[in-house]
Amino acid sequence: MGESNVDEDAILKSFFAEVGEVERDNEVARILSCFKLNPFEHLNLPFGSSVDDVKKQYRKLSLMVHPDKCKHPQAKEAFGALAKAQQLLLNDQERDYILTQVNAAKEELRMKRKKHLKKDTASKIKSMVDEGKPEQQYEKSEEFLHELKLKVREILTDQEWRRRKMAMRISEEEGRLKKDEEEQKEMWKKKREHEEQWEGTREKRVSSWRDFMKAGKKAKKGETRPPKLKTEDPNKSYVQRPVKKG
């Protein structure tokens, strides 16, 4: 199996060594004009292509547009597009996603065809079906394949737009949550700083309070204490007021 691949690569290299610049430039232009969301288009493969088909076609086209061989100014970009297309189609999840959209496109076209046949019984398509042409054969026609290609583009574009909108919403929500988290952290930071400052001045406040209490107990020299307003006699409920002498 390994020897077969080596021989095939040697034949390809020998063949493309004779390919002219025009053919290489045309292939670069074709690749760069492809619909960006459809790797099958970049590799110029039908949707039913196998993994082996993908690998063989990639080897063939990558040799044709390789920057070392192709003088086109965008050869590197085309080469990169081919590499990305192969990567997507060799990834089971990505491949299944694209083929799911292809099947959805086929179903839409089949429903459209059925409605058309019911509406226009005299159409050419209806007569072909009446003559016994199977649907499978029609779906291999250039007309159907062209419509399928366009429909797949439409569906992939719609799905990508939905994906981007969802990603934007998720990003906005994450940004909002991050902002709330930062504001919460800032609030707790200020609270801790306030508590630390309050604790740092605790000794000073306690000392000031002690001094105040001492001053209250010991009157300063020459200072007369105010008279007590309440009687010291527990049997009297009224307040004794000082009698002004002299």
Tens digit of each residue's pLDDT (9 = 90 or more) over 107-131: 999 998 888 777 765 555 555 555 5
Q: With 50 as the cut, is the pLDDT of residue 132 above it?
A: no
| CATH superfamily placement of domain 7-94 | DnaJ domain (1.10.287.110)
Is 136 a residue whose pLDDT tops 70?
Answer: yes
More reliable by pLDDT, 159 or 168: 159
Over residues 4-22, mean pLDDT:
69
Question: pLDDT value at position 235?
Answer: 60
Give the model's pLDDT for residue 106.
93
Residue type, 185: K
Ramachandran sector of residue 196 (left: φ over 0; alpha: ψ -120 to 50; beta: rest): alpha
User: Can you tell me which residue has the tokens 């306030």?
Assistant: 194
Can you give the residue ranges of every domain in the chain?
7-94, 107-133, 141-201
Contacts of 229 (CB under 8 A, 6+ apart): 239, 240, 241
**Mean pLDDT (whole number) for 188-214:** 75
pLDDT in the model for residue 35: 94
Q: Report whether pLDDT(12) > 80.
A: no
Which residue do the tokens 């630390």 mark?
Answer: 196
Q: Provide CB contacts within 8 A for 106, sequence distance 6+.
A: 139, 148
* More reliable by pLDDT, 225 or 181: 181
The more confidently predicted of residues 83 and 239 is 83
The answer, yes or no, to whether residue 67 has pLDDT greater than 90, is yes
Instruction: Tell me what the pLDDT averaged over the chain comes to.
Output: 80
pLDDT of residue 218: 58
Percent of the chain whose pLDDT exceeds 90: 40
Q: Are 32 and 74 in contact (CB under 8 A)?
A: yes
Lowest mean pLDDT among 10-19, 179-188, 193-202: 10-19
pLDDT of residue 200: 72
